[in-house]
Amino acid sequence: MRAYNFSAGPSTLPLEVLEEAQREFLDFSGTGMSVTEISHRNKAFEAIVEEGAALLRELLNIPEDYAVLFVQGGASQQFAAVPLNLMHKGKADYIVTGNFAKKAWQEGKIYGDAACVASSEDKTYTYIPDLDKIAFREDTDYVHICSNNTIFGTRYVEFPKVKAPLVADMSSEILSREIDVKKFGVIYAGAQKNLAPAGVTIVIAKRELIQDPLAICPTMLKWKVQDENNSLYNTPPCFAIYMATLVLRRLKKLGGVKEMSKINEYKAGLLYDFIDNSAFYTNNVVKKYRSVMNVPFVTPSAELDAKFVKEAAQNGLVSLKGHRLVGGMRASIYNAMPVEGVQALIAFMQKFEKENA
């Protein structure tokens, strides 16, 4: 039986997509070869890369003057690529709202004057700082945010309005809600949360910003070079790009990001409402900033938390253990998690409460 997989990443993928990949695993697109065997210069594979980029453009309404790239090294590699492509004046502001946002800031400091201008670490990242009160500095190359905080379960409701280009790590929420790409200079996202298996990272970058990477920037990290080569500068992660394209096709068929966003709000609403109406389970995030993708919660004790995770797994609800930094549980309910999965989780939570309260 297929489990309901609540892993934060790599995470669950749509069953139809897995089945389709399985059907054509030995003979991709009439080539007589597996997609894991063919050359990345094969026309059939080049068509997949092109289609994937075109679908991203369509689904996120990405303007023509933005590059859409498939790169490697995960979102963590982009923590370095951001300053290496953008830090001409050597100065950037970071908002630190979680573990990944902090890592991005620390990586930025290797290359220049990267300042943390606001942080929610004082309350274990359970909120997003008041954007109107942030003293952004003058003459910065960019402002960096992490739009959805995977470990702590918060998300930006609005985005900062800043003079410098806004750079956003959207790894754990890309394609989950509508965004206005024009408001961002660069968006990047490791695909293994909401889009594909591990191995590929999406970069969406305004072309005028990426023409002059720093002299020390490794060629592989130059977005300009990746753009000029249609993400085929070297051997790309072919299988992950292929899977991303299948997931994007399905998303289009389901009605696109707007429709997916409605379903996501509905799923998250079910779970948060249940938690809020329970005296047994708690979510500590300031309500306004609750993530629609990652829902952390606890029972009254660490012992019960451990018991919950164990018994949930025995009932086919897996990977619910919270991140080691926060403990408790975390349900990641990305695009590919069906409503039935969330309903099954809630039914189990009710039963567990009855037996253990």
Ligand X SMILES: *Cc1c(COP(=O)(O)O)cnc(C)c1O
Binding region for ligand X (CB under 6 A): 9, 74-76, 100, 146, 150, 169, 171-172, 190, 193
In the complex with ligand X, the residue whose CB is nearer, 125 or 274, is 125
- Nearest approach, Cβ of 41 to ligand X (angstroms)? 26
CA neighbor of 94 nearest in space, from 84, 81, 108: 108
Helices 256-276 and 43-60: crossing angle in degrees, nearest 10, is 60
The partner residues of 294 in beta bridges, in order of sequence, read: 332
In the complex with ligand X, the residue whose CB is nearer, 141 or 169, is 169
- Nearest approach, Cβ of 152 to ligand X (angstroms)? 10
In the complex with ligand X, the residue whose CB is nearer, 74 or 90, is 74
- Nearest approach, Cβ of 193 to ligand X (angstroms)? 6
In the complex with ligand X, the residue whose CB is nearer, 126 or 172, is 172
- Nearest approach, Cβ of 171 to ligand X (angstroms)? 4
- Nearest approach, Cβ of 110 to ligand X (angstroms)? 16
CA neighbor of 101 nearest in space, from 25, 58, 43, 160: 160
User: Which residue has the CB atom at the shortest distance from ligand X?
Assistant: 74
- Nearest approach, Cβ of 243 to ligand X (angstroms)? 15
How far, CA to CA in Å, does 262 sit from each of 170, 177, 255, 256, 331?
A: 18, 8, 11, 10, 18
Per DSSP, the three-state class of 248 is helix
In the complex with ligand X, the residue whose CB is nearer, 155 or 224, is 155
In the complex with ligand X, the residue whose CB is nearer, 90 or 129, is 129
In the complex with ligand X, the residue whose CB is nearer, 38 or 146, is 146
Name the residue with tokens 């996501």.
264
DSSP string computed for 69-130: EEESSHHHHHHHHHHHHH-SSSEEEEEE-SHHHHHHHHHHHHHSEEEEEEE-GGGTT-S---
Name the residue with tokens 């389901």.
254
* 185 token code pair: 């200079």
- Nearest approach, Cβ of 337 to ligand X (angstroms)? 16
Separation CA 337–CA 218 (nearest Å): 37
